[in-house]
Every structure is written in C-alpha cells, then in structure tokens.
Amino acid sequence: MAKSSTKDDFTLTDNSTGKSYTLPALTGSMGNRLVDISKLYPQTGILTYDPGFSSTAACKSDITYIDGNKGVLMHRGYPIDQLAKHSDYIEVCYLLLYGQLPTPEQKEQFDTDIKHHTLLHEQLIRFYSGFMRSAHPMAVMVGVVGALSAFYHDKMDITDPNEQRVAAHRIIAKMPTIGAYAYKYSLGMPFPMPRNKYTYAENLLHLMFSNPAEDYDINPVLAKAINLLLILHADHEQNASTSTVRLAGSSGANPYACVASGIASLWGPAHGGANEAVLKMLGQIGTSRNIPKFIKKAQDPDDSFRLMGFGHRVYKSYDPRATVLRESCHEVLNVLGINDPQLELAMELEQIALKDAYFIEKKLYPNVDFYSGIIMSALGFPTSMFTVMFAIGRSVGWISHWKEMLMDDHHRIGRPRQLYLGETERKFNPMDKRGHTEKKTSWSWLWGGGR
Ligand code: ACO
C-alpha cells in the first residue's frame, strides 16, 4: 500500500469494519488505469474475486497493446494492418522477440539462425509412429512439442539469455516442421526435409504439400496468404494460451514444455479451435435459408450453441485481424478462381448477425477465426490443420512472453487464489458408520452432468 496517497490512487472501504485502504494507481504508456492490488492480501487479508480474469492484469508487458473498444492491435507500437501490409513473418518474429524492427543485416542473420534449426532430431521423428494415424494433429503437436523438452532439457539454463534466445529460435524454426509432419503422418506420407532456399511461409507450404515423387512449385499467392495468416496470429497479449505459457513458465519449467501447455490451451473451441469450429458450423448451417434458425439458437440461453467466430473477451468492436483477413479472403479466392459457397454463406451470416439486436447489444463482432478457416480451406489445408496453423504463428508470441517474464526481476510463480464454497471442517466417519447421514454423491456430477 502506498505510504502517501495521491488523487489518482483508489480507496477501498470495507463496509463491515468501516476501514478504508488506499490502493495505488498504475498507468501504462497507453490504455486503462489500473489499481495495484498486489499488497492487498498481505496488508488487509482481503482477496479479490475475478473469474476468467476479466478485470485483472497479471503482468507488465512491452510486447502487444490492444484497445478492444476501438479495435486497435499493435505489436511494439506498430499497428497490425501496417505490419500485415509491409512486413513478413520473420520480421514480425524479430520485432516481437527483440523489441525493434531489424536492420537488413539483423534480419538476414535472424533468418539464417532460424533456418539452422528447422530439422527435427531423428529420435524425435520416431515419436510420430506412437500416434494413431487418425489422431487429431493438435494432439500430436502437444506431444511432440512437449517431447522437445526431453531433447534440450539437461543443457538448459533458463536464466541464461543466450539459452533463452536459442530456445526461442528453435521453437520458431521447428513448429512448421512439427506441424506439417503431423499432417503427413495422418496421410501415411513420407516427411519432407525443410528447404533453406525458401522463405518461412514457402517452406511451410513445401513441408505441407510437396510430394517426393514430383516437383513442387511454390504458388506465390498461397505463400503471400500464409505469410499474412502467420503475421495476424503472431501475438495477442495475455490470451488464454499465452497466459498458460506464462503460468507454466513461472515455476521455472522447461520452455518447450511451456509451449506444449500453450498448444493444449489453444486447442479449445473457445480459443484457437474456433477456426475449425467455424467451418463445421457453416457445414451445419448448410444454406442461407437456415441462417435465421441458427442465429436464434445462438441467442437461446438454454441452448449451448454459439455463433463460432463471433465475440471476443477483449474486442467489443471489429477484431482488426478479421478486417485484414476479410479483404485478403476475397483476394485469395479471386486469384485462385475459387467460388466458395461457404464464403458466400459466411458473408451472409456476418451481415445478418451484425444487424441483429442481440449481437449489437452484446457487442459481438466477427473475430479472426471467422475468416481464417475459410482462407485456409481455400489454400488446401484440411480443417483439422487450422488450429495447427494458428499454433505455428502464435509460437513466437508464446516464447516472447516467456522470455519477457524471465527477464522481469520481479516475476513470481503464478498462484491464483479462490473463493472456497465447499464443506466446512467435518469429522471423518469410518466406513461402517456411514449410511443415511452421508450426503449422496450425485451421479450426474460424476458422469459429467455439471454441478
Ligand atoms: N454466440 C452467441 N452468444 C455469444 C457469443 C457467440 N459467439 N459469444 C458471447 N455470447 C454471449 C454470451 O452468451 C454472453 O451472454 P449473457 O451475457 O447473456 O450471458 C455474452 O455474450 C458475453 O459472453 P461471455 O461468454 O461472457 O464472454 P467471454 O469474454 O467470456 O467469451 C468468447 C469470449 C469465448 C470468445 C465467446 O465470445 C465465444 O465463445 N465465442 C465463440 C468462440 C470463438 O469464436 N472463439 C474465438 C475467440 S478469438 C481467438 O481465440 C483467436
């Protein structure tokens, strides 16, 4: 608690005791005012309650800024639309990781460093054969990326900046190889070697779609679209997967294991899994005639159906990534000569939802996942690989946040508290004394029916 308060500070009054506490204010370089509650518990014994962390900043960060009301997203001060227009993914990786846009020499060096880490250890490649061919590629990603920790653990001193750098470069470099091999494995096809003559996006296309029996020509339209997708997914401040990586890393865990935990979190349909869910939903809707029925379903409080690709915890206006992708979606489909009825359906759905009172009132706008699935489908990616593509792009964000956290001298192990609603202390009843006095266990709870 601040010793002397200023007019910017906050006062918390405990009505039950009449005591008041001064809580210091914090201001960042941009954005909301914050109240510092870090000393609240040690000094007052009071905890705060904030499920889903809607009102809690868990760290300080210099990497990404979002203004959800205005639809602003900036990395290190550069607006996302400028990066999408003028940059390439490797440059954005450098920016996120090191804080500045690279000079030509720095970019070349960084590009070379990344290219020198794209191969997988032969032992790691054997991990794939332990999976069912039908396994979801995100399950394979969690396993194989986590397994990197078994290859690079003994030598790893996470406090050494040089080792942090090498770990970051390895993650950025190996993610396309690991992701593409998950796809090739599902098809029973041989694993192609990464090619250093290609850019990051071109290499990803080559790893995914080349066939050793034939020459593979990189289509520049596809490479441009991949580059854009990767840039748009590179970072998004303290989202669920990034916060998971930070929380896992806060205990000093191995960085590859931390990134695997981020992949697990990303997989959920409320987060990165939404791109896959959007396409499934469009398939379910089928034709524009059915749109009103699904819009109604999404508003029914007794129906768990949600309009996938709509809504965001932070954006209460258009997701700026969706704005960029929306344009690119049309361009890519035009250039490729694809007349995609699902895109038409998506556009109609978007227009109807944007005019609907429920969606207006709750400020539910299309998010990046609404368009990314359509574009990836046009590029030839199977639905199950959509979230893998997201994970490949986001890996630089995860590792940049991990590195930033470790470099912060004040970082502590993440350890949220809880509001306890369980039994108060009770006496242990031996088995032969238990009977009608014990509460019955609810079978519906045991079998997942909720509580
Ligand atoms: N369809 C219908 N209703 C919705 C939707 C939706 N897509 N999203 C939110 N709502 C409603 C909720 O039911 C809730 O209504 P209520 O106030 O009557 O209870 C209200 O809007 C607020 O929603 P919350 O779930 O409280 O918002 P939260 O910030 O927790 O969730 C989330 C955000 C998870 C993204 C949510 O909007 C959602 O599930 N969207 C669909 C999945 C999706 O597209 N996820 C991708 C997110 S972007 C990303 O990860 C890259």
Q: What is the pLDDT of residues 410-439, one digit of tens each?
A: 899 999 999 999 999 999 999 988 876 666
Taking the centre of ligand 1 as the mean of its atom positions, its distance from the CA of residue 54, in whole angstroms, is 13
Taking the centre of ligand 1 as the mean of its atom positions, its distance from the CA of residue 291, in whole angstroms, is 18
The active-site residue, picked from 136, 312, 319, 356, is 312
Q: For 13-24, what is the mean pLDDT?
A: 94
Cα–Cα distance, 130 to 125 (Å, whole number)? 10
Question: Which residues partner with 364 through β-bridges?
Answer: none
Give whole-number Cα distances, 416 to 33, 38, 48, 51, 56, in Å.
Answer: 22, 12, 10, 10, 11
Query: How many angstroms from the chain centroid is the CA of residue 292?
Result: 30
Cα–Cα distance, 104 to 213 (Å, whole number)? 37
Residue 391 burial class via C-beta count within 10 angstroms: exposed 0-12, middle 13-18, buried 19 and up: buried
Q: What is the DSSP pairing of strand 19-23 with strand 25-27?
A: unpaired
Asked if residue 168 has pLDDT above 90, the reply is: yes
Give 356's contacts (C-beta < 8 A, 6+ positions apart).
295
Q: For 7-18, what is the mean pLDDT?
A: 92
Q: Active site includes 312?
A: yes
Q: Note the pLDDT of residue 295.
A: 96
- 57 is written with which tokens? 């900043």
Q: Per residue in 352-382, pLDDT tens?
A: 999 999 999 999 999 999 989 889 988 999 9
Place of tokens 């900036």: 74
Taking the centre of ligand 1 as the mean of its atom positions, its distance from the CA of residue 311, in whole angstroms, is 5
Q: Active site includes 436?
A: no
Give whole-number Cα distances, 334 to 223, 227, 320, 343, in Å.
Answer: 15, 18, 22, 12
Mutate which of 275, 304, 362, 374 to test ligand 1's pocket (most atoms within 8 Å of Cβ)? 362
Residue 35 has what DSSP assignment?
E
Q: Note the pLDDT of residue 435.
A: 78
Place of tokens 């964000």: 397
Give whole-number Cα distances, 49 to 39, 63, 177, 417, in Å.
Answer: 15, 27, 42, 8
Asked if residue 64 has pLDDT above 50, the reply is: yes
By alpha-carbon position, which residue is closest to atom 26 of ligand 1?
313
Q: Which residues does ligand 1 sit against, CB inside 6 Å?
A: 52, 270-272, 274, 298, 306-313, 362, 364, 367-369
